[in-house]
Structure 1
Amino acid sequence: MSISVDIRHKIGKLDLNAQFDIAEPGITALFGPSGSGKTTIINAIAGLLRPDRGRITIHDRPVFDRTQRINLAPRRRRVGYVFQDARLFPHLSVAANLFFGHKRSDRPMTKAACDDVIGMLGIGSLLSRRPNLLSGGEKQRVSLGRALLGNPEILLLDEPLSALDQGRKNEIIPYLENLRDARQLPILYVSHAIDEVARLADHMVVMEGGKTLASGSVFDMLGRTDLAPLAGQFDTGTVLPTTVKSRDPQGVISFLDCAGQRFVVPFLGKKSGSPVRLHIRARDVMIAQTAPTGISANNVLPVTIRDIADNGGDTLDITLGLGHDDTGESRTIHARITQWSATRLKLAIGQRVFAVIKSVTVDGHLRADDL
């Protein structure tokens, strides 16, 4: 396991009881509402907080074990940490901030490797500046570079976009995507923003009230309909891996493929064959008994009802089967409709229907290796 966490800790009103494993490189989102224990967990992994009980391992190396009285100092854990507010040293230049951890690492990176990180983050032109002359997005990129130049075994990101406006978020997200795709590094990403999770994460751990509710692939987790304690925070939907097939002659629409089904989205500006991750919210999916005509929605997909889940209120979550992709993986999308609509349409498991989705409600994100 890259990271294994099994800890308990009492802090204020929070009674933390967290257990999860991260088995592969990539981004694992630690997701949940404010006060659910996310920052407490990564502080424990980093060595900034000692849990009351439990065990934490990084690459099978115990960094904390209360029973065996193991509690490695933060610098010995080989962890990179990026805080919400960057926390750059104001009296140092960008270059001095970047190399602060590098000089103290017991496994310093080569100059070529450092240059690669600086180039990947696009901060080479900022080296002589002081932090007060940087934008919010630039500060976070420098903070990310500082953490990476320490040559960590894992990277912890504590809501690194929460203090940024949407423009600055859009500026830094492609760098996080590039980091995810280009470097074989386990990343634990704390967030309570479902759109960030859908775009960036490979895996997901859901927290509520200090407890681990569920964990797994982001493709599966965002389709879960049984995470009711996060109502208002957890927005059931679908994340689909798709491929760009073509575009319309005017270049305003991109046509994508998933499981043999065609998706129409606003033009992405990329060539055929480019991998794209789609995020479709369940509340944006309509169901029709017959293929509608004369409507503005561009996505009318033949699907099969796989499951009908009662939310305990006046809505139902419907799982719709798209088919199997080239890897043999079964792909589904989710729709949230009223019980009244389901009764009116006489929906049943196994029924063939049509999923209707407006193009403008689909979030399409190119993988960073094709940006």
Structure 2
Amino acid sequence: MAGIYIHIPFCHQRCSYCDFHFSTLLKHKEKVIDALLTEIEVRKNELSAPIETIYFGGGTPSVLSEKELATLLDFIFKFYDCSQVKEITFEANPEDLSMAYLKMLKKNGINRISIGTQSFVDEELRLMNRKHSAKQGISVIKNIQDAGFENFTADIIYGINKNYKKNLAENIKVLQSLQIPHFSAYALTIEEKTLLNKKVKTGEFSILPDDAYEYCFNTLHAFAQENDFLHYELSNYAKPGFKSLHNSNYWHNKPYLGFGPSAHSFDGKNIRRWNVANNHLYVKNIQKNTPYFEQEILTVENLFNEYLMTKLRTIEGIDFKYLSKNFPNKYSTRILEQIKLLNASWYNLNENRLNLTPKGWLISDFILKKLFI
């Protein structure tokens, strides 16, 4: 089984924290979509496995019209084996999700919505330069439920300012009261080419100390345990039956094709490729049938390190039986030697498996550096 990711590289405005590839010049949307359709067709022989998941990400996929969305899906279903598709996820901003738009998504086969709420607190939304209000975020979730979507997820960003405790409590209150079946929660990170980074340099914005992020992470983990959410990946929480199948397949190294500017692909073996992160070059090179991507062949060491990086983010962790089948024995030996030098409260270890505890997840970057080849 395999997945397909479609990157829609447009947004209505720039959020202060975001460094993903996108453009606010919507006048070029038609040209990019035409190039997307070409890429979908010309790569039809790269996957032999049936498609299990389709994911529209961005950017902001909710800038798409019904005709544009339907055409993209028609091409995917025409050129790939979609007879076993289980999940079609569509990322959207709250301000775009009118009831009419939601009904359109449902009519066109979307069965999972990922909502870019980021917060249910207006103070935080303003700091992130989000276009919607907290009231809109709450209202759109009710509309999603009224439109008949059972499977949806909301994003939360925490640790934004000095009121992080009060604001997190409000976000948790909303998550609980609206009976949201899945949410993703991320610590605010300051990326180089962002408005927030500029404000940090000028002293207009202050980064919180590490213990603030630790407080938020632990509070969310406790909320999950008390409310029947499985904290199944470092940043993801799901009620029973509502894990993200598409993202889980990434973490299980299943093959996927990524279409659109900056999209990544993996053949499920040892080849990764990524499209140029420039809308103009992407369109131009596709039109001229010249290379619009780069790729690399992963070494055994690369594959081992990627396995550690993805699997230690998950509740399942590392499977030593998998390691023994796919890597030299010295790699498993190295893990066992190195992990035992670390604090035992950071991990769980038995003869078949190693996974990180919540304490370990908090310092997973440090642990991975110790385990990498």
TM surpasses 0.5: no
> What TM-score comes out, normalization by structure 2 length?
0.36
Higher strand residue share: 1
- Structure index of larger Rg: 1
